[in-house]
């Protein structure tokens, strides 16, 4: 009877582990939450097997059955809570990205051209010509490596220009820079 409880509780964790691995592996667009949950179930199953073996050897089947049952219930509850938390985090991240894209699109479609906004920013913040060029390319959505290729400079040089832009405009990152340039326009 007690061995049956150990086997049943471990089997529940094994089935949950296999189902989540299949979900994370075979879904066309598996999320990070699905992959994290698969890792959680692998660890829970491993803890069940190793713990049951250790408790059976040290204390007997009664303690092993109690351990397996408690671990199974705790893992099921924790897995559900972790999945909710991870999915909420992903949803918040997607919302922030959508907000940033909308902000960039709004400034791209504004009345002023990127060049006009950059020229105004160059006068306002005393930017060098190269910093103005880097700013224009940033506002067009270019990456550091794309900017480096277009301007025929190294990635470190572009990084320095971007740091100078942040310092001169008083912003802490690209999001704030885009907002600041929108205010200027």
Low-confidence ranges of the chain (pLDDT < 70): 107-112, 183-185
CATH number 1.10.10.10 is the correct assignment for the domain at 110-184: yes
pLDDT at 148: 94
Give Cβ neighbours of residue 44 (< 8 Å, ≥ 6 apart): 13, 16, 17, 71, 75, 79
pLDDT at 79: 94
pLDDT at 107: 66
pLDDT at 184: 46
pLDDT at 185: 40
Angle at 173 between CA 169 and CA 174, to 5 degrees: 90
- Residue among 169, 143, 120, 124 nearest 179 (CA): 169
Q: Given phi > 0 = left and psi -120 to 50 = alpha, else beta, which region is 112?
A: beta
Domains in the chain: boundaries: 2-95, 110-184
- C-alpha distances in Å from residue 63, one per residue of 58, 60, 68, 77, 125: 9, 6, 9, 21, 71
Angle at 77 between CA 76 and CA 83, to 5 degrees: 90
Give the distance from CA 50 to its chain's centroid. Answer: 32
pLDDT at 110: 58
Angle at 141 between CA 106 and CA 147, to 5 degrees: 155
């Amino acid at each position: 009877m007690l061995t049956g409880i150990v086997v049943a509780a471990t089997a529940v964790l094994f089935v949950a582990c296999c189902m989540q691995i299949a979900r994370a592996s075979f879904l066309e667009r598996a999320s990070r939450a699905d992959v994290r949950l698969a890792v959680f179930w692998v660890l829970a199953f491993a803890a069940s097997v190793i713990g049951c073996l250790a408790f059976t050897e040290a204390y007997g089947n009664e303690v092993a059955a109690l351990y397996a049952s408690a671990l199974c219930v705790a893992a099921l509850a924790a897995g559900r809570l972790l999945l909710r938390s991870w999915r909420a985090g992903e949803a918040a991240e997607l919302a922030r990205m959508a907000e940033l894209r909308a902000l960039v699109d709004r400034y791209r479609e504004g009345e002023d051209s990127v060049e006009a906004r950059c020229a105004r920013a160059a006068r306002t913040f005393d930017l060098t010509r190269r910093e103005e060029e880097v700013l224009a390319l940033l506002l067009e959505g270019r990456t550091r490596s794309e900017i480096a290729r277009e301007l025929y400079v190294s990635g470190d040089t572009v990084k320095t220009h971007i740091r100078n832009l942040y310092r001169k405009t008083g912003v802490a990152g690209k999001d704030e820079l885009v907002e600041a340039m929108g205010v200027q326009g």
